[in-house]
Amino acid sequence: MHISFLLHNAYGIGGTIRTTYNLANTLAEQHDVEIVSVFRHREDPVFDHVPGVRVRHLVDLRPDTADAADPERLRPAEVFPHAEARFHQYNALTDRRIAEHLASVEADVVVGTRPGLNVHLARQTRRGPLRVGQEHLTLDTHSPQLRRTLRGVYPRLDALTTTTEADARSYERKMRLPGVRLQAVPNPVPAPAVEPSDGSGKWVVAAGRLAPVKRYDLLIRAFATVAAERPDWRLRIYGRGKQKDRLRALIEELGLYNHVYLMGAAHPIDPEWAKGSLAAVTSTMESFGMTIVEAMRLGVPVVATDCPHGPGEIISDGTDGRLVKVGDVKAIAGGLLDLINNDEQRQQMSHAALKNSARFDPARIAERYESLFADLGARTGGSAGGRMRGSLHRTRAALLGSAYAVRDAGHAALRKGRTS
Amino acid sequence: MTQPTADQLLETSQRTFQPKEDAIPAPRADCIADSAGGLTFDVLDGGGSGRAHLVLVRRTAEEDVVRLPLTPVAQGRLRAVLPSGVELAEGRWETHIRVGDAEPRRLTPGINDLRALVDRSPDPGAARIAVRIPYTTKHGNLSVRSWLRAPHAEAGDLTLGQDRLTVRGRLYGAALAQGAHMELSAGREGPVLRAEVTAEPSVPGGFSCTVEHGTLTEGAWRFRLRPAGEEGPRVRLSRLLDDVADKHDVFHYPGTDYPPSAPSLHVRPAYTASNDLTLTVTPVP
């Protein structure tokens, strides 16, 4: 298959960008993959890509380029929706370049990676390629105006993917997208390049932007309870953000300066998780919950608030981590202390976390996308009946060489055969 | 809308794909620390003829250079080992790779696995404490900070009260004897104070030191442990035994106004750029 991703800026840093590279790199083992970046503002991408992935741009914003000075950039975008968070970065030039790209794209599947680009995809992709939109945030976080726009346009997509089942259900409930396949596919998280944690350190680790939604204030307050009972345990919070001064003031006010440390940003973060024996996530909302998977992939069990949308779909409560009540300092402290005070249970959870988080490996996530793409291809071209199923089997075998994935696809093709 | 059939999907998937020639990337080193103070560097073999070396350079008046052979290991990687026994003077060391007679190239950081350093607790009897912490410079390069102490006084938990500061610490390579005390000085020509030091028998080499705010005047006070009284060594009180190269921003402490009833001085502990403990005393505005 030839798969073409459309990304806001493949040269930047961020969750969606990292996820797209991880997925593209893995899909490139079997497929012809390109990442088309609407913008380019620097020489090289920050994230590595394998030689099989081509990265190119549509609008060059590096200094002294013709694009940077193009007067079309001064006229507002008409296709990119006004209600999208990044509307101000789009304009008549991006409208035109994206339209030209999608009108001529040489691909079997085009994948959009944010609502505004999914709108382009739905409206402007030439006849032929499958149109797959990805939702990396959640429906709840979109404004009513944006939801209205998407409701009108998304029916022209073949599929929409969300990062959680919970969000897929919201789309189903609130958006009514006839003929659009709604599918939750979690974000891929690669196997870490360092050994898992040995669980010996008396450290709790948290990592993320120091932003209000992460509620690190609750974590710090909870740690006051932890430190009172177990002064031998300490907390490290990695990340930077606007809340830093407030959080520091709270640490000092609570007299926790020997127990709670603001570590600043760390790249890569994997070696830092490996220093912990427990991780904590205390957010009020997580679109997915990437840090939970990252910690688990290092054998570090996570105590997380059971907030929308991701944690409950990643953590199996009591088996490979703990889910506690959102916004509840006592519950967070209790969850941490339970595992701090029970070495054996913590060790068991560490093993389970390592094992259970393997389902987020890019190879496994790529398989899910491959199944989706093959399934959609079969559905839309499925009039050939039996011949179709046979050739699909061959396709899957050729693409994956994995018995597991072939079996899945076979079932999917059979299901389709019966229903269509 | 016409969608590709499975046959078309099959056909396109079989198109072979030629990887493009990659530009030579900046050489990147992964670094693993051991609990004794040794470091292992792994660099991707970039080819070239001649023997490869990892070159550590300390910029001082006279350039200090340490060369370590890089030898091939699995998966096209080269490895250099800096054992704790190899002397590395205190300071900041740049890392370079040099292959044969080619120009040395600056190394950039890959993965620093420093977990073995997190709660380092060396043998209190060790004659000398070697600390090497790899870090990323302002310009994004890989450097190593080195400390070499014999004996060494490690600062631990601090407790800042209204009237006094208590510092817990551990002494390595010496023992507390009669007359042990902490010497505080503010500048070369400034006054010198004495603070009480008591042994904490539950911790090998453990001690605690209490500084009464009432004894302080304005200035940036440094701590020197005198384990054997006036006659013995003067041991700088620093925080070195973990994975944090620059303590100042991470080990951050509140200040307090003294005296509480009618404050005239603001007292705040902090770490200096070389990770020595300091107590800054400034007038209350």
Residues B239 and B265 in one domain: yes
Task: Examine residue B206 and state whether it is found in any structural domain, yes or no.
Answer: yes
Query: Where in chain A are the domains?
Result: 2-184, 203-360, 381-419
The fold of the A2-184 domain, in CATH, is Rossmann fold (3.40.50)
**Structural domain includes residue B16:** no
Domain holding B51: CATH number? 2.60.40
What average pLDDT values come out for chain B (285 residues) when binned by 10 residues? 38 31 68 93 86 92 89 92 92 94 92 95 88 94 95 97 97 94 90 94 94 95 96 95 96 96 96 96 93
Q: Would you say residue B3 lies in a domain?
A: no
Assigned domain for B8 exists: no
| pLDDT at residue B25 in the model | 61
Three-state SS across chain A? Answer: CEEEEEEEECCCCCHHHHHHHHHHHHHCCCCEEEEEEEEECCCCCCCCCCCCEEEEEEEECCCCCCHHHCHHHHCECCCCCCCCCCHHHCEHHHHHHHHHHHHHCCCCEEEECCHHHHHHHHHHCCCCCEEEEEECCCHHHCCHHHHHHHHHHHHHCCEEEECCHHHHHHHHHHHCCCCCEEEECCCCCCCCCCCCCCCCCCEEEEECCCCHHHCHHHHHHHHHHHHHHCCCCEEEEEECCCCHHHHHHHHHHCCCCCCEEEEECCCCCHHHHCCCCEEEECCCCECCCHHHHHHHHCCCCEEEECCCECHHHHCCECCCEEEECCCCHHHHHHHHHHHHCCHHHHHHHHHHHHHHHHHHCHHHHHHHHHHHHHHHHHHHCHHHCHHHHHHHHHHHHHHHCCHHHHHHHHHHHHHHHHHC
Is the per-residue pLDDT at A414 higher than 70? no
Taking CB atoms and an 8 Å cutoff, what residues of chain B touch A108? Answer: 4, 8-9, 12
- The pLDDT, as a whole number, for residue B59 is 83
Query: For residues A353 and A302, is the Cβ–Cβ distance under 8 A?
Result: yes
- Residue A64 pLDDT exceeds 70: yes
Angle at which helices B6-13 and A386-400 cross, to 10°:
20
Residue A386: predicted pLDDT: 29
Q: How far is A225 from A223, CA to CA, in rounded Å?
A: 5
> What amino acid is encoded at B168 in this protein?
R
Task: Say what the pLDDT of residue B19 is.
Answer: 31
Provide the token pair at B186. 């503010």
CATH T-level topology, domain A203-360 = Rossmann fold (3.40.50)
Q: Cβ–Cβ of A108/B4 closer than 8 Å? A: yes
My answer on whether B204 and B256 are in the same domain is yes
The helix (H) or strand (E) run that includes residue B11 is helix B6-13
Q: In terms of domains, do B131 and B181 share one?
A: no
In tens, the pLDDT along A249-285 reads 999 999 999 999 999 999 889 999 999 999 999 999 9
- Residue B19 is assigned to a structural domain of this protein: no
Nearest to A377 among B1, B6, B157 (CB): B6
Range of the domain at B36: 28-149
H/E stretch holding B10: helix B6-13
- Over 60: is that where the pLDDT of A410 sits? no
CA nearest neighbour of A376 among A395, A350, A362, A356: A395
The rounded distance, in Å, linking the Cα atoms of B64 and B57 is: 6
The H-or-E segment that residue B281 falls in is strand B277-283
Go through chain A and tell me how many residues it has. 420
Residue B267 near residue B213 (C-beta atoms within 8 A): yes
Distance separating alpha carbons of residues B186 and B178, to the nearest angstrom: 25
CA-nearest residue to A130 within chain B is B3
Say whether pLDDT at A391 is over 80.
Answer: no
Q: Are residues B141 and B164 in the same domain?
A: no
- The arithmetic mean of pLDDT across residues A51-62, rounded, is 96
pTM of the model: 0.88
Q: Do domains A2-184 and A203-360 have the same CATH topology?
A: yes
How far apart, in whole angstroms, are the C-alpha atoms of residue B88 and residue B282?
A: 37
Which chain A residues are Cβ-neighbours of B254 within 8 angstroms?
252, 257
**Which of residues B149, B181, B198 is at a domain's end?**
B149
Q: DSSP for B87-140, please give it.
A: ---SEEEEEEEEETTSPPEE-EEEEEE-GGGTT----TT-S-EEEEEEEE-TTS
How far away is chain A from the Cα of B223, in angstroms, using its nearest Cα? Answer: 19
Tell whether B130 and B184 lie within a shared domain.
Answer: no
What pLDDT was estimated at residue A381? 62
Task: Output phi, psi for B70, to 5 deg.
Answer: -100, 120
Q: What distance in Å separates residue B21's CA from the closest CA in chain A?
A: 8
Suggest the residue from B40, B115, B268 to mutate for an interface test with chain A (most A CBs closer than 10 A).
B115
Please judge whether B14 and A374 are an interchain contact, meaning their C-beta atoms are less than 8 angstroms apart.
no
Largest Cα–Cα separation, chain B: 92
- Contact present, A133 and A109 (Cβ < 8 Å): no
Residues B75, B159, single domain; the answer is no
Contacts of A271 in chain B (CB under 8 A): 111-115
Same domain, residue pair B94 and B143: yes
Pairing of strands A2-9, A130-135: unpaired
Q: Do A30 and B13 touch (CB under 8 A)?
A: yes
Last residue of a domain, one of B115, B149, B183: B149
Q: Residue B101 class from Cβ within 10 Å (0-12 exposed, 13-18 middle, 19+ buried)?
A: exposed
% of chain A with per-residue pLDDT over 70: 90
Q: Choose the final residue of a domain: B149, B169, B200.
A: B149
User: Is the predicted pLDDT of residue A138 greater than 50, yes or no?
Assistant: yes
If asked whether residues B179 and B136 sit together in one domain, one would say: no
Chain B residues inside the 8 Å CB shell of A373:
9
Going by pLDDT thresholds of 50, 70 and 90, the confidence category of residue A15 is confident
> 3-class DSSP state for residue B260?
coil
- Does A201 contact B3 at a Cβ distance shorter than 8 Å? no
Mean pLDDT of A358-383: 88
Is the same domain home to B87 and B200? no
Contacts of B3 in chain A (CB under 8 A): 128, 130, 158, 376-377, 380-381
Q: Do B131 and B221 have their domain in common?
A: no
Q: How many domains does chain B divide into? A: 2
d(CA A255, CA A237): 16
pLDDT in the model for residue B24: 53
Chain B: give the shortest CA distance to residue A313, in Å. 30
| Cα R_g (chain A), whole angstroms | 23
| Widest Cα–Cα separation across chain A | 72
